[in-house]
Amino acid sequence: MSSMTNFDEIDWRNSASANFVSLILEQQAQLSDQRINKELMTELVSQFVASERKLAEAHAAVLAMSRTDALTGIANRRWFDECLAQELARALRSSTPIGLLLMDIDCFKLYNDNYGHAAGDECLIKVAQAVHEVVKRPPDLAARYGGEELVCILPDTDVIGVRKVGGALLEAIRHAAIPHAFSKAANIVTVSIGGISLIPEYGTTSKMLIEAADAMLYQSKENGRNRLTM
């Protein structure tokens, strides 16, 4: 009887030990699954973040391309139109001045006719770069308005400030010293500029600002080119 009891105890102990080992193995399996799941989740999150970053970068690149002039690398006409409307509305709300500079490369048709269109494109690029170097305050915008015309928006800038920027543009483009033997203004590439600054009133439109700057540009051309008229 005592011998059978001992066998029962051994069987019970063996069974308990087996259950304990089984429990440990099960817990290890669970822990292993948790570790694998955690690693998978970490990898999925990492892939998602990387994918979102790539999408954001691609979107930013497409947006930048849609706002940039393909030749000169500065803002294009579409982005200029949008920015001018926004800055005009802001100036109207805050009763602050808005400045605008409209410029035209002097005798550019003669440049193209005599140096070729490839050289004309290179000339436009150099002039745009010179303008961009001057007009680089964060709220300002330099854009290609069309053909050989460039334009600058100068938010919160009075007449004195606009005149100062316009003068700096004249000097920067002269300093580039791009030869132009066929110009009627100088023996280098120059620009004529029309500038305005005003505090807009109710009813002031973007078209009015552009027409006012264009009228000043016309005066610069009539008075001999290579100058700024405010």
Q: Please answer whether residues 95 and 212 qualify as being in contact, where contact means their C-beta atoms are separated by less than 8 angstroms.
A: no
Residue 179: band (very low, low, confident or very high) from pLDDT cuts 50, 70, 90: very high
pLDDT of residue 1 exceeding 70: no
What is the predicted pLDDT for the residue at 30? 73
pLDDT of residue 9 exceeding 70: no
Burial class of residue 168 (count of CB atoms within 10 Å of its CB; 0-12, 13-18, 19+): middle
Task: Show Cβ contacts of residue 179 under 8 Å, excluding neighbours closer than 6 positions.
Answer: 187, 188, 189
Q: What is the pTM of this model?
A: 0.75
Domain ranges of the chain: 1-67, 77-229
- Residue 148 among the catalytic residues: yes
Pick the CATH number of 77-229 from 3.30.70.270, 3.40.50.1980, 3.10.450.350, 3.90.420.10: 3.30.70.270
* Lowest mean pLDDT segment, chosen from 16-20, 171-175, 187-191: 16-20
Each residue's pLDDT tens digit, 116-140: 999 999 999 999 999 999 998 989 9
Each residue's pLDDT tens digit, 134-176: 998 989 999 999 999 999 999 999 999 999 999 999 999 999 9
What is the SS3 assignment for 2-48?
Answer: HHHHHHHHHHHHHHHHHHHHHHHHHHHHHHHHHHHHHHHHHHHHHHH
Distance between CA 120 and CA 111 in Å, rounded?
7
The whole-number average pLDDT for the span 201-222 is 97
Each residue's pLDDT tens digit, 51-107: 556 554 554 444 455 799 999 999 999 999 999 999 999 999 999 999 999 999 999
Each residue's pLDDT tens digit, 46-67: 665 655 565 545 544 444 557 9
What is the predicted pLDDT for the residue at 66? 76
26, 52, 57, 148: which is the annotated catalytic residue? 148
State how beta strands 191-198 and 228-229 pair. Answer: parallel
3-state SS assignment for residue 160: helix
Alpha helices, DSSP H only, in the chain?
Answer: 2-67, 77-94, 108-115, 117-134, 159-176, 206-222
Task: Show Cβ contacts of residue 120 under 8 Å, excluding neighbours closer than 6 positions.
Answer: 108, 111, 112
Amino acid (1-letter code) at residue 73: G
Distance between CA 228 and CA 155 in Å, rounded?
19
